[in-house]
Amino acid sequence: MAAEITEFTAKEVATHHITEDAWMVIHGQVYNVTKYLNDHPGGAEVLIETAGTDATEAFDNAGHSEDAFEIMAEYRIGKLKGAGNRKAAKPVRVAASAAPKPKEPSKTRGVTTIGATAAVAAIGAAGFYYASGTEVFSALPNLMFLKPALTKNTGSRTRGLGFFEGFLLASAVFGFASGVISRKMMKLLHDHPTFTNYPPHVKIPRPVKPNILLQGGWLHPSTYQTLPLVKKELVAPNTYRLVFELPSSQAVLGLPIGQHIAIAAEIDGKSVSRSYTPVSNNADKGVLELVIKCYPQGLLTGGYLEKLQIGDEVKFRGPKGAMRYKRGLCKNIGMLAGGSGITPMYQLIRAICEDDQDTTKISLIYANRSEKDILLRQELDAFARRYPQNLQVYYLLDSAPKSWVGGVGYVTKGLMDKRFPAPAADSKVMICGPPGMVNAAKKSLVELGFEKPGPMSKMSDQVFLF
């Protein structure tokens, strides 16, 4: 006998609406998502906002994959009391309309033609009658053979047939001849190829190519999967470019622009997990590429990633994060990055610059200790040179050589006021870097008129923290 399913009222669900105790209703089922908050690909704040409520509409609008239902099953604790089974919407099928058939020749038109022919025949009959008693035959030698049959002698004067006989004979002759001629003319008219004989051209809409940057792929949001390391390159002091190979050369990572992944490993008997933003995207088929700064004291970076050898398998899962960039998010973006915090910025910069239809303007301030610490400089300079309408880059160093032409010192309110767009509904500022720089920048931006960022960033925030 199946276990009885626990039922909850809407009021009971509503009492569980905080971060430490978050329930929600989706399609009549009640879920306790407290333990799933930090693993949610869209960020914990998305779930917290709908905690204690019926989140069915928000869930459907988010466009979750079928995998989402499998993940949710683990967190289902019962169903909403009084909720019926909600049937899934029927799939909409779009049937291509058949090309209209060419119109057949109108029968009415043919009848009209025959009627006109009969009228002509009647008039012809009268003319023929009178002609039979005149000298018309003498003017038409070729018809003289008809004369004996159509006339008879009455003394010295040749008299024509009677009116009735003439009418019948003429009607028959003219009717037959005109019918034959009419049919041939109508056939010739309708069989002659003209543009009206063919069906009109039916426009078939061009299939819309899906945006590969928004496609799902190899990544799984809750299950770790492994990939082998195929390339390792030192690109800056303690900083490596790590390239991992996907299962096939055409495989897509499945990482929305602006989101990150998690790497997990067993270190000294304990499980350690950290999040990183790849510098590759879905357009780079077959590979996952990361640029990571390895700190000697870092458990995952210094104790694991720095020691990786070619062929070693690494665990990944994702995507994660609250940012899912799409064209049209805003018109102007001010970006502040420090050190390895450039990686999420680079992901957005690349997507915007490589999209011919994206007119978003980016002003980047990139702060580092020294010139040799600048990551992805070659790529950033190439984008700034090729897409000046999209990207402007300002490098800032703590200590700079004499030949340095960029900025020197710390990020200040005056610098951000000069380089970043003014506060507006269509402007955003994005920050990623060391905690000290981030905290100082948040305070300065509020003083410049930007909205104060919340404890957990959302895409709708004017100041977004990666």
List active site positions.
Answer: 260, 276-277, 432
**Residues 22 and 16: beta-carbon distance below 8 Å:** yes
- The order of strands in the sheet holding 361-368 is 407-408, 391-397, 361-368, 332-338, 427-432, 463-465
DSSP code at position 406: S
**Residues 24 and 53: beta-carbon distance below 8 Å:** yes
Say which residues have a Cβ less than 8 Å from residue 426's Cβ, sequence separation at least 6. 330, 331, 332
CA atoms within 13 A on the CB side of 425: 0
Q: How far apart are CA 349 and CA 327, in angstroms?
A: 12
From residue 359, how far is each of 74, 115, 303 by CA, in Å? 43, 70, 42
**Residues 149 and 160: beta-carbon distance below 8 Å:** no
Peptide bond into 401 cis (omega under 30): no
Q: What phi and psi, each to the nearest 5 degrees, are found at residue 199?
A: -65, 150
Buried b (16+ CB within 10 A) or exposed e, 16-31: bbeeeebbbbbbebbb
* E strand segments, 219-331: 225-236, 239-245, 260-267, 270-276, 287-293, 313-320
β-pairing verdict for 76-80 and 29-32:
antiparallel
Total H helices, total E strands in the chain: 12, 19
**Residues 280 and 346: beta-carbon distance below 8 Å:** no
